[in-house]
């Protein structure tokens, strides 16, 4: 099967149309059947960056504040996400502790950090305030990362 990203098919009448870049908050409709073909993205780079910063703040709060508190007869015990993974590492279920730490802490941290990095460079490139040497270095490192990803797929 061949994919053609420049074309869009109406799911109601099966008409094929050329995709054009819609403006902010615009939608493409089929004139004959009034079906919505596709919608424009509601978020620009600045809004994505704000959401990423908010996600980073929530991530820090989630990893610093206790998630579990047990109280019994005046005694209480609290634990954070890191502490719960560390407790699992001391028992017979140490492999589960590693998977828990990766899924709860490491993977979200990497996702937020990488998204923030990409969006920060995208925003700097859009505003034109980035110096040419920084832009050249970031493009060079991006090209290197793409080559590594392609090589790992093979």
Looking at every residue in the chain, the average pLDDT score rounds to 79
Same domain as 55, residue 14 = no
pLDDT of residue 7: 79
Domain identity same for 13 and 52: no
Q: What is the pLDDT of residue 149?
A: 65
| In-domain check, residue 2 | no
Its domain, for residue 58, covers: 45-153
Mean pLDDT within 14-25: 76
pLDDT at position 152? 66
Compute the half-sphere exposure of residue 71: CA atoms within 13 Å on the CB side of its CA. Answer: 1
Query: What is the per-residue pLDDT for 51?
Result: 93
Q: What's the whole-number mean pLDDT along residues 82-93? A: 83
Number of domains in the chain: 2
Please check whether residue 49 lies inside any domain of the structure: yes
- Is 1 inside any structural domain? no
Cβ atoms of 89 and 98 within 8 Å: the answer is yes
What's residue 59's pLDDT?
94
Q: Using the predicted structure, report yes or no on whether residue 53 has a pLDDT greater than 80.
A: yes
Residue 132, SS3 per DSSP: helix
């Amino acid at each position: 099967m061949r994919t053609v990203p420049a074309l869009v098919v109406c799911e109601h009448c099966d008409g094929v149309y050329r995709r054009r870049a819609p403006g902010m908050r615009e939608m493409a409709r089929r004139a004959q059947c009034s079906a919505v073909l596709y919608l424009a993205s509601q978020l620009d780079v600045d809004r994505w960056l704000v959401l990423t910063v908010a996600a980073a703040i929530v991530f820090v709060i989630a990893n610093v504040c206790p998630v579990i508190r047990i109280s019994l007869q005046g005694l209480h015990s609290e634990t954070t996400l890191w502490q719960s993974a560390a407790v699992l590492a001391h028992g017979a279920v140490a492999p589960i502790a590693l998977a828990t730490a990766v899924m709860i802490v490491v993977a979200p941290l990497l996702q937020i950090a990488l998204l923030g990095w990409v969006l920060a460079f995208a925003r700097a490139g859009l505003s034109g305030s980035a110096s040419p040497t920084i832009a050249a270095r970031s493009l060079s490192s991006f090209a290197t990362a793409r080559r590594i990803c392609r090589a790992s797929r093979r």
